[in-house]
Amino acid sequence: MPSKSIDNAFTARSIRGGATDPTYAGALSFMRRKFSKQLKDVDAVVLGIPFDAAVSNRPGARFGPQAIRRASAIFDNDPQYPFARDLFEAMAVIDYGDVLLDYGNHQKTPGLIEKEASKIIAAGAYLFSLGGDHFVTWPLLKAHAAKHGPLALVHFDAHQDTWDDDGKRIDHGSFVCRAVREGVIDPAHSIQIGIRTEAPDDFGIRIIPGYAVEDMSAQAIADAILAHVGDRPCYLTFDIDCLDPAYAPGTGTPVAGGPSSARMLSVLRKLGALDIRGSDIVEVAPAYDHADITAIAGATVAMYMLGLRAERLARAR
């Protein structure tokens, strides 16, 4: 097999173009991207954040980046559906590896994440992050807002994550509250999709609750997002528990009554007009998964986010 590659994450001679590793073998970077810390001429960076000390229910999302990278191997070789292209032909992407965190000193965690993210953003690359629990979105939002100003938040989740926050908590259920209070996001143009729990305050953020998602078409959901956010710079965060536990059992706080992976992927596919400055997928906890259902869903959400970025770059060029 002279045209095949192996361990492309280490042996790749270029940060462009697809790999041809067997799906069942080889080094497991995200979609076989080259592992690198070099940011020159890079369009997008995949960053793992293996942290789950902020969970209110089941831990395990620290293993999310590993699981998503492993599941992403199924996207190798062929043009990526539904983008009908090799996403990396015209978009240079590296896997930056993981943020190094001190498991015994969680108060340092947000600063470490923000510092690593800021370095990547300052280099001009688009940052896509693999969580980790949803607390990691807080330092990621800070890093992006420092570059782009207050962002509209497009938030797929079963939970609002607006519980009260004193500015010091390490809590995956309060990062939105903190982001609003500190001016990191613009609540008037932020939107949450799939919410199936109650919280004390919505901070003026528009909510499309789970029952409405069930009644709406994917096009109607996407249209509502596009109309509400408009042309404002935004950050896209996808908590895998937005999906019903039938489609994402491997997560810390599953909530019944959610949408299918097919429905939400169809929504994502229609968000190409958004000015997305950064994005993440969080709360994949493989210890509760079965046959990689959740990891595959998470990897597919991640691939769609990079696909949207690839199309935006293609239009710009």
Which segments are annotated as binding site for Mn(2+)?
134, 157, 159, 161, 239, 241
Whether 75 is in a domain gets the answer: yes
Mean pLDDT over 186-212 rounds to 97
Whether 204 is in a domain gets the answer: yes
Whether 2 is in a domain gets the answer: no
Whether 3 is in a domain gets the answer: no
Contact indicator for 47, 120 with CB cutoff of 8 Å: yes
pLDDT per position as a tens digit, 274-291: 999 999 999 999 999 999
pLDDT per position as a tens digit, 52-83: 999 999 999 999 999 999 999 998 767 899 99
Domains in the chain, number: 1
Q: How much is the pLDDT for 23? A: 87
Whether 192 is in a domain gets the answer: yes
The total of other beta-carbon atoms located within 10 Å of residue 233's CB is 20
Confidence of residue 90 (pLDDT cuts 50, 70, 90): confident
Q: How much is the pLDDT for 76? A: 72
pLDDT per position as a tens digit, 101-123: 999 999 999 999 999 999 999 99
- Structural domain including 297 reads 8-316
Contact indicator for 90, 313 with CB cutoff of 8 Å: yes
d(CA 264, CA 298): 11
Which segments are annotated as binding site?
134, 157, 159, 161, 239, 241
Whether 1 is in a domain gets the answer: no
Residue 130: strand pairing partners:
48, 281
Whether 259 is in a domain gets the answer: yes
pLDDT per position as a tens digit, 16-26: 988 888 888 98
**Minimal CA–CA distance to 72: which of 287, 308, 306?**
306
- Residue 165 maps to which CATH number? 3.40.800.10
Q: How much is the pLDDT for 13? A: 86
Confidence check: pLDDT of 2 > 60: no
Whole-prediction pTM: 0.96
Whether 148 is in a domain gets the answer: yes
The two structure tokens encoding residue 303: 């691939």
Confidence check: pLDDT of 1 > 50: no
Q: How much is the pLDDT for 168? A: 87
Cβ partners under 8 Å of residue 1, min gap 6: none
